[in-house]
Amino acid sequence: MDEEYDVIVLGTGLKECILSGLLSVDGLKVLHMDRNDYYGGESTSLNLNQLWKQFRGEDKPPETLGSSREYNVDMIPKFMMANGALVRVLIHTDVTKYLNFKAVDGSFVYNKGKVHKVPANDVEALKSPLMGLFEKRRARKFFIYVQDYDENDPKSHEGLDLNKVTARELISKYGLDDNTVDFIGHALALQQDDNYLAEPAMDFVKRMKAFARLSAVYGGTYMLSKPECKVEFENGKAIGVTSEGETAKCKKVVCDPSYLPNKVKIVGKVARAICIMSHPIPNTNDSHSVQVILPQKQLGRKSDMYLFCCSYSHNVAAKGKYIAFVLTEAETDNPQVELKPGTDLLGAVDEIFFDTYDRYEPTNQGDGDNCFISASYDATTHFETTVQDVIAMYSKITGKALDLSVDLSAASAAEE
């Protein structure tokens, strides 16, 4: 291990693995280390015995749940947007040839005590029970505006500069009521709170268009079970990592918050429930994979709540079993009570586990000490915020922007 690298990456969570791949593709010499004897870090997957050991302190789950090895329970479950940033990153690093993808059966939203399918275009809007007749007409006009909007075609702007007009002002032009704004903002544009309403509408419209459209390969070196992984400093700058008496020199260190606890701060907490069930989530058309978004306003909360479900058809559970998660940004110290609006939607559960985990963000400036630290994972059921952090970190590490201008249709055709 006693040699020099451009970058040493500590931790094998998703963010660290993506960055390791991106930097390796750039031709940098990367050493990737983890103190654990397994991949994944906070975003690892557990079999049934491991799940029981972590949450119940024993590895003796009921035999009725099936074989332990049939379970693969992701601790940070998220869906991938079909034309989102993560897909572009995966194509950029050329790892899509090793992956198989499966479409999500449905996306739903909680509104007035019921679960409804999210309408993704003007046709679905006309059929949706989320809106009355006149509201459907107004929503249809708004959907058509969003679908036809072209940043480079002033005729499609209808006199609005979306870099100046706020999302609230754009919505008011079409007279949409609060309930409609609720599901459009949170279930289509995937906003986590209502702050977006006071911001320029451009990002809001781009997010809606994205939803409607598609609703160690390069020589990095990996080392697991490397205890301690102590970052070495000289004159306040990281110069290497020591483990088991050996030091690997480097120009920069990339890591998750657990490796440099004195350079991060707690910014929040995620409450989650992990459930094993023998049926799909009720009122979701018997979907084997689904997300349900519970907007904050519907629950009288400050942040949204998310339901995530997948099943044995994705090889994550024994035959006939479903894995469901309920997640939210914690606003109390009692996850069982706080998550009840979400867990109540699940119906009967075979087993349920509650816990919370702290969210961290770095307090340092990476260019000052050569340490680049990822932020913890949030409660959302998609990868967009995760990849935004990765792209920002990549720019800080390399000093350049990451070019993700890939033709997804061409890439898909090439794979076929």
Is it the case that residue 193 has pLDDT exceeding 70? Answer: yes
- 243 and 367 housed in the same domain: yes
371 lies in the same domain as 355? no
Same domain membership, residue 395 and residue 335: no
Q: For the domain that residue 27 is a member of, what is the CATH number?
A: 3.50.50.60
On whether residue 150 sits in a domain, the answer given is yes
Instruction: Indicate which CATH number applies to the domain containing 307.
Output: 3.30.519.10
Give the model's confidence band at 224: pLDDT under 50 very low, under 70 low, under 90 confident, else very high: low
Same domain, 245 and 373: yes
For residue 153, the domain's CATH number is: 1.10.405.10
- pLDDT above 70 as % of the chain: 89
Same domain, 260 and 365: yes
Confidence of residue 221 (pLDDT cuts 50, 70, 90): low
Do 251 and 273 lie in one domain? The reply is no
Range of the domain at 61: 48-103+266-359
Q: pLDDT per residue over 41-57, tens digit each?
A: 888 888 999 899 989 98
Residue 164 domain-assigned (yes or no): yes
Is 110 contained in some domain?
A: no
Query: Mean of the per-residue pLDDT values for the chain?
Result: 85
pLDDT of residue 219: 45
Assess whether 371 and 252 both reside in one domain. Answer: yes
Q: Is 31 part of any domain?
A: yes
Query: 307 and 270 in one domain?
Result: yes
Residue 192 falls within a domain, yes or no? yes
- Top-confidence residue, 72 or 82: 72
Compute the average pLDDT of residues 153-162.
Answer: 89
Same domain, 195 and 333: no
Dump pLDDT digits (tens) for 324-361: 999 999 999 999 999 999 999 999 999 999 999 999 99
Question: What's the average model confidence in pLDDT over 131-146?
Answer: 84
From 342, 359, 376, give the residue that closes a domain. Answer: 359
- Same domain (yes/no): 19, 72: no
**149 and 8 share a domain?**
no
Final residue before a domain boundary, out of 168, 194, 209: 209
* pLDDT confidence bin for 406, thresholds 50/70/90: low
- pLDDT computed for residue 105 by the predictor: 81
User: Is residue 319 in a domain?
Assistant: yes
User: What string of H, E and C letters represents the secondary structure of the chain?
Assistant: CCCEEEEEEECCCHHHHHHHHHHHHCCCCEEEECCCCCCCHHHCEECHHHHHHHHHCCCCCCHHHCCHHHCCEECCCCECCCCCHHHHHHHHCCCHHHCCCCCCCEEEEEECCEEEECCCCHHHHHHCCCCCHHHHHHHHHHHHHHHHCCCCCHHHHCCCCCCCCEHHHHHHHCCCCHHHHHHHHHHHCCCCCCHHHHCEHHHHHHHHHHHHHHCCCCCCEEECCCCCCEEEEECCEEEEEEECCEEEEEEEEEECHHHCHHHEEEEEEEEEEEEEECCCCCCCCCCCCEEEEECHHHHCCCCCEEEEEEEHHHCCCCCCCEEEEEEEECCCCCHHHHCHHHHCCCCCCCEEEEEEEEEEEECCCHHHHCEEECCCCCCCCECHHHHHHHHHHHHHHHCCCCCCCCCHHHHHHHHC
Q: Can you tell me the mean pLDDT for 116-139? A: 78
Count of domains in the chain?
3
* pLDDT above 90: percentage of residues in the chain: 42
- Of 309, 338, 359, which residue constitutes the final position of a domain? 359
Same domain for 308 and 389? no
pLDDT of residue 215: 40
